[in-house]
Structure 1
Amino acid sequence: MSLSEIPALTEKLLAAKKAKSLSFADLETVVGRDEVWLAALFYRQASASEDEATKLLNALGLSTDLVPELTGYPLKGLGPIVPTDPLIYRFYEIIQVYGFPMKEIIHEKFGDGIMSAIDFTLDIEKVEDPKGDRVKVTLDGKFLSYKKW
């Protein structure tokens, strides 16, 4: 998904969040879901329950007529092109450079399998450092062994 392909719903949610001066952490306390999951919901990468959607829309001062859009099946992925946003591209670059080493270490420690992106959490923290603040990203996924038959 490029910036020109951002869904109208995403733009509406982000505008309301900005107008209310809310952070995703603020919304986490209202909705009861992690800030990263909520950001994914804004970009239609996740799907809310009716209760979650209603709480979110009420907090943002938006009509509950949008509940069906937030509870519908999400649109996963960035699309078939290499991302051009500099921050998103860096994650793509990290996988290009460290993808095979990560795969090798995971296989060495767990065996033949994958890290689930379904049974998964992601956490983003700010770590203050005198040489410049650091971004700490934690990916936590269940290991799934490949089945033999």
Structure 2
Amino acid sequence: MRAGKSTFSKALVATHPNFERLSLDNILAAKHGIYNVDYAPEKYSEYLDEAAEECLARLKRLLTEENRDVVFDRAFWNKPDRDEAKSLIESLGARWVLVYLKAPDKATLWQRICRRREIEVNADCAYQITPDILDMYWSGFEEPVDEGAIMVDTSAPSST
């Protein structure tokens, strides 16, 4: 949520051609379009679940059949979600690397959310984040502690 996940993952893929970027938002947009433009907000949860299933299927195929490196562009906001993904990835014989893009503060995230939506609405920012939703995500986020994460400070202003 504007910590820089999509920017980081796209840059990584651009500089490492063997990497494949997996994004729930992009899978969802490819199938159904943009939130509240091409489909009703009431369908979001259903479509997100569908995209998550497809994302996991692609992840398994990329790691086992195509021997590709994968950038999983996902928030992984809680430890159980991270643990589940790590377990799956390692069970497929791949190496898990968690990159934690540390946001400076909630106010900065809100500024980034607003600025991004002013520039354009695309798959990476289609879901409309309100101040209440940001509060929910901010208060529910579980910082990765003792998980071997590579921490990247995202305090510097971005162009998007």
The TM-score, its normalising length taken from structure 2, stands at 0.27
Rg larger in 1 or in 2? 1
* Structure 1 or 2: more strand by fraction: 1
The TM-score, its normalising length taken from structure 1, stands at 0.28
